[in-house]
Amino acid sequence: MLEGLRSYDKQLEIVYLAMMRVAQPYMQYIELLATIPGIDLLSGAYIIAEIGVDMTRFLKGSGSLTSWAGLSPRDEKSAGKIISNKIMKGNSHVKSILCQCAWAATNTRNTRPSNWYWRNVNRLGQKPLSSL
């Protein structure tokens, strides 16, 4: 069983090195993303692979990127009352990696995302331990 785990570790290392080789032309962008709390080189490579480096399609601002990724809620209002504010469908790969990076950022100390989260945790609700 231990030999099987070593084999899987070796395979993961091979895949990781292959990914970093393919991502080499974009390393300056990946390293820039990795300066954001919660994002490491691997997460940055995933994000660049999904979004790309050409941001001209998101010229309207960060709202269009979050909407494309499926991370901005759509408010449905009627007579001034909010009927629904569900998060819409989007790129599930970007959505999941950004959500995981956000959770990782809440565990860093003295960063803006972490400070904001811990100030608002009572209003937002804590992430269930079963999903950690």
User: Is 53 part of any domain?
Assistant: yes
Q: What percent of the chain has pLDDT over 90?
A: 25
pLDDT at 132: 45
Output 113 or 74, whichever has higher pLDDT. 113
The answer to whether residue 131 scores a pLDDT higher than 60 is no
Over residues 95-110, mean pLDDT: 85
Query: How many Å apart are CA 109 and CA 29, to the nearest integer?
Result: 24
3-state secondary structure at position 72: coil
Q: Which residues pair with 87 in a beta bridge?
A: 73
In 3D space, the residue among 24, 57, 63, 64 whose CA is nearest the CA of residue 41 turns out to be 24
pLDDT at 109: 83
The answer to whether residue 75 scores a pLDDT higher than 70 is no
Structure tokens at 83: 């009927």
Residue 112: domain span: 2-71+87-131
User: Is 81 part of any domain?
Assistant: no
- Domain count of the fold of the chain: 1
Query: How many Å apart are CA 94 and CA 70, to the nearest integer?
Result: 9
In 3D space, the residue among 51, 78, 83, 81 whose CA is nearest the CA of residue 67 turns out to be 51
User: Is 127 part of any domain?
Assistant: yes
Instruction: Kindly report, residue by residue over 1-50, the tens digit of the pLDDT.
Output: 788 889 999 999 999 899 889 999 999 999 999 999 889 999 999 999 88
Counting Cβ atoms within 10 Å, is residue 29 exposed (0-12), middle (13-18) or buried (19+)? middle
User: Is 95 part of any domain?
Assistant: yes
Query: How many Å apart are CA 102 and CA 96, to the nearest integer?
Result: 10
